[in-house]
Structures are given as structure tokens and as C-alpha cells.
């Protein structure tokens, strides 16, 4: 079969290793996955309850308009219902945007390293991808990104906080950026970790939608809300733009169960508050560990931390894997000497840090 030329040589996504596979391979009974930034505390119990109530409702198609969830989200974040589009995860919104805006005559601007899906989907549409190196501290180089925009640029991707560094763009910088980007270039603010970001100067992008019709904000239920298995994310933008985008969306792209669980999870603010608090406590443990061990790390507003172990991230990955922890090597993330670890429960954090301490004792930094 002849596929699009740009598909040739594209790798399949390599996800974090599944727990059961690792157990079997290594003969371990307990394996903990801190690789994909899922919520270590699961989801609000209200979500599972909502699914249980609907468990027999499998014969009828879901509501393609997601009316119940739509109303709840609109109210929660203070926008009109017409400003929302729901995706099978925010990954799918990224796909919609690329499909709707990009082709071989256009280009798109991203940071590098950043979330891999922007480049992948843009490449599939045949667009040129302009990757602008992040600054030393892991943040986007917004000035260089601006300079890369030309008359063929259709989308600029801002990942805030950035995955895999966890670093963020502050309010003043983001607002200045929005002022400077031409009005016909779409800015995507991917805020998958929005709930975890607690810095006082983290941008509030939703109110900016009133001023900037070329802004779309992506949020997801996969991270803090603990619903990654259900695949629900959404975009918030200008109502006219969202209406133009909607035909790209498959008509029944979220399940009934996903809608109901997300709507229920949205009601449980205390659950999110507790998870965010525990995440911060966990983050402090990792930061203290890095300082004590003389390791460089990237300051994170998300639920993961990128640490420079001054050796191949694959070595750190293998060392931890043998001891029952799955993390992400920085090799595939653009930070080859780093590892990205999702902040887990207190017990998980303490355990993984004691393994890392032992690793650093037997193989100190600066020895290779």
C-alpha cells in the first residue's frame, strides 16, 4: 500500500512499559509505574460510581455533543458552552488542530524538547515543523519562537507547564507573547498539568480568550483528575473557530462512561485539592534529594520531575526497572542524561528515592 510520504520512517509511539509485562519479564511481584504522569491517587470515587450506574448502558451511542459534561465544564471555567470541543484525550484535539489547519504549504512552531504529539501530527499533515530549542532552564524561548513565525505559520504550540521539563511560562511572558503573535496564527496553550501548577504567576489563559480569538487552551481529565484510561480532554477557544473545527471531530469520540465519569470528577474539588497538596509535598522530597545529592533538576509546576543523573537516562531506567519502578528515560525525551519521574504517593517516593540513593552510592556522578 502507498501511504503518505511523510509517514515513511515515523516511529510508533513508545509508551511507558505496561506493569504486567514488566512483572512477567523480570519475575517481580510488585511493580510501580511512575512513567506517564498519571495520578498516583487514582480518581475521585465519584467517577467510578458514575460508571457503575451506567454499566448496562452499552447499546446506545454516546451523546456526541457531550451536553451534560459541556454544561459542567463551561460553568466551571466560566466560558460559553459553544467555546468547548471535547476530544478522546487532549491528544485528539492536537490531531484535530493539525488536521484542520496544517498542510504541506504551511509550517508550525514548537519548542524543543516538548510534548511529542505536536510534531508527529503536524508531520503527518505534511507541514514543516520549526523546532525552537528551549532555554537552558528548560523553558520555551518565546522570542525565538516568535521570530520563527512567517506568513505560512498556522499554529504555535505552547506547552505550559512543559512536558518533559515541568517548567512554566509566567503570566507576563505569556501575555506579552499573545500580544506579539500575529492575529491569524493560532496559539495552542496545552495545559495538561494546569491543576498542579500553583505558582502565583502561572498564567490564567481562559480570560485571555476574550481578547485573543487566535488562542485555544487544552485541558485534560487524564492527569490530576485521574481518568487517563477513559480518554477525555477538551479545547477552549473562540466559538466561531470551535464551530469551524468541529467537523474534523468523529461524531462519537468520547464514550458515555467517559462523559459521566468526567462530569462526576469535576464535582469533587476536595479530591483535586488533596492530590495537588500531596504532589507538592512529594515534589519537595525529590528537590531535597537532588540538592543533597548534588543533582541538577528542572523546577517543576507539574506532577513529574526531570532530573539530570549525568549518565544515560536508559541506565537509570534499567536500574529502577529491575527494582520494580518504571520511569521514563530522558533519552527519548530530548534530555539524554536525565530521567523523568512522576511524583507518586509518599511511600512510592520514599522507596524510589532510597533506590536512587543506593544507585548514586555505587555509581557516583562524575565517575563516567
Ligand X SMILES: *Cc1c(COP(=O)(O)O)cnc(C)c1O
Contact positions vs ligand X (CB under 6 A): 37, 89-91, 115, 159, 163, 190, 192, 220, 222-223, 228, 233
Give the distance from CA 308 to its chain's centroid.
20
Which residue number, 235 or 324, has a Cβ lying nearer to ligand X?
A: 235
DSSP letters for 1-31: ----GGGTTPPPP-PPPPHHHHHHHHT-S--
How many Å apart are CA 303 and CA 282, to the nearest integer? 9
Which residue number, 14 or 30, has a Cβ lying nearer to ligand X?
A: 14
Pairing mode, if any, of strands 325-326 and 32-33?
Answer: parallel
Distance in Å, CB of 118 to ligand X, minimum: 9
Which residue number, 162 or 289, has a Cβ lying nearer to ligand X?
A: 162
Output 293-300 pairs: Cβ under 8 A, ≥24 positions apart.
293/356, 293/357, 293/360, 293/365, 294/365, 295/360, 295/365, 298/137, 298/138, 298/165, 298/166, 298/167, 299/137, 299/166, 299/167, 300/161, 300/165, 300/166, 300/167
How long is the chain? Answer: 368
Q: Phi and psi at residue 292, in whole multiples of 5°?
A: -65, -35
DSSP H or E stretch at residue 260:
helix 256-266
Distance in Å, CB of 222 to ligand X, minimum: 3
Which residue number, 164 or 282, has a Cβ lying nearer to ligand X?
A: 164
Which residue number, 107 or 110, has a Cβ lying nearer to ligand X?
A: 110
Distance in Å, CB of 115 to ligand X, minimum: 4
Distance in Å, CB of 100 to ligand X, minimum: 17
Distance in Å, CB of 228 to ligand X, minimum: 5
SS3 content of the chain, % helix, strand, coil (to 5): 45, 15, 40
CA 161, 167, 168: angle at the middle one, nearest 5? 55
Q: Phi and psi at residue 102, in whole multiples of 5°?
A: -110, 145
Which residue number, 225 or 297, has a Cβ lying nearer to ligand X?
A: 225
**Residue with the CB atom nearest ligand X in the bound state:** 89
Distance in Å, CB of 207 to ligand X, minimum: 21
How many Å apart are CA 287 and CA 297, to the nearest integer? 8
Distance in Å, CB of 282 to ligand X, minimum: 18
Which residue number, 199 or 288, has a Cβ lying nearer to ligand X?
A: 199
Which residue number, 42 or 294, has a Cβ lying nearer to ligand X?
A: 42
**Contact of 116 with 124, CB cutoff 8 Å:** no
Coil, strand, or helix at residue 255? coil
Distance in Å, CB of 101 to ligand X, minimum: 18
Amino acid at each position: 500500500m502507498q501511504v503518505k510520504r511523510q509517514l515513511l520512517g515515523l516511529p510508533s509511539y513508545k509508551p511507558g512499559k505496561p506493569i504486567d509485562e514488566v512483572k512477567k519479564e523480570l519475575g517481580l511481584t510488585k511493580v510501580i509505574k511512575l512513567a506517564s504522569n498519571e495520578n498516583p491517587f487514582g480518581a475521585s470515587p465519584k467517577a467510578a460510581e458514575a460508571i457503575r450506574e451506567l454499566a448496562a448502558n452499552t447499546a446506545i451511542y454516546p451523546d456526541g455533543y457531550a451536553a451534560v459534561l459541556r454544561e459542567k465544564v463551561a460553568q466551571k471555567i466560566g466560558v460559553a458552552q459553544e467555546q468547548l470541543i471535547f476530544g478522546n484525550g487532549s491528544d485528539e484535539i492536537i490531531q484535530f488542530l493539525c488536521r484542520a489547519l496544517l498542510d504541506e504549504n504551511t509550517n508550525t512552531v514548537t519548542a524543543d524538547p516538548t510534548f511529542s504529539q505536536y510534531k508527529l501530527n503536524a508531520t503527518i499533515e505534511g507541514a514543516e515543523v520549526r523546532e525552537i530549542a528551549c532555554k537552558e532552564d528548560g523553558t520555551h524561548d518565546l522570542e525565538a519562537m516568535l521570530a520563527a513565525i512567517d506568513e505560512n505559520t498556522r499554529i504555535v504550540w505552547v506547552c505550559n507547564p512543559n512536558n518533559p521539563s515541568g517548567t512554566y511560562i509566567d503570566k507576563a511572558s505569556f501575555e506579552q507573547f499573545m500580544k506579539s503573535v500575529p492575529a491569524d496564527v493560532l496559539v495552542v496553550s496545552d495545559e495538561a498539568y494546569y491543576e498542579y501548577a500553583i505558582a502565583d504567576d502561572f498564567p490564567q489563559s481562559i480570560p485571555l480568550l476574550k481578547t485573543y480569538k487566535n488562542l485555544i487552551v487544552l485541558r485534560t481529565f487524564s492527569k490530576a483528575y485521574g481518568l487517563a484510561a477513559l480518554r477525555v480532554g477538551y479545547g477552549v477557544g473562540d466559538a466561531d473557530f470551535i464551530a469551524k473545527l468541529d467537523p474534523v471531530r468523529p461524531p462519537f469520540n468520547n464514550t458515555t462512561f467517559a462523559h459521566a465519569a468526567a462530569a462526576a470528577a469535576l464535582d469533587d474539588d476536595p479530591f483535586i485539592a488533596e492530590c495537588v497538596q500531596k504532589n507538592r509535598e512529594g515534589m519537595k522530597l525529590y528537590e531535597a534529594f537532588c540538592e543533597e545529592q548534588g543533582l541538577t533538576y528542572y523546577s517543576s509546576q507539574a506532577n513529574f520531575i526531570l532530573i539530570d543523573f549525568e549518565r544515560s537516562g536508559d541506565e537509570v531506567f534499567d536500574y529502577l526497572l529491575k527494582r520494580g519502578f518504571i520511569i521514563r528515560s530522558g533519552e527519548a525525551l530530548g534530555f539524554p542524561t536525565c530521567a523523568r519521574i512522576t511524583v507518586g504517593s509518599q511511600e512510592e517516593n520514599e522507596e524510589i528515592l532510597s533506590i536512587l540513593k543506593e544507585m548514586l552510592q555505587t555509581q557516583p556522578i562524575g565517575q563516567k
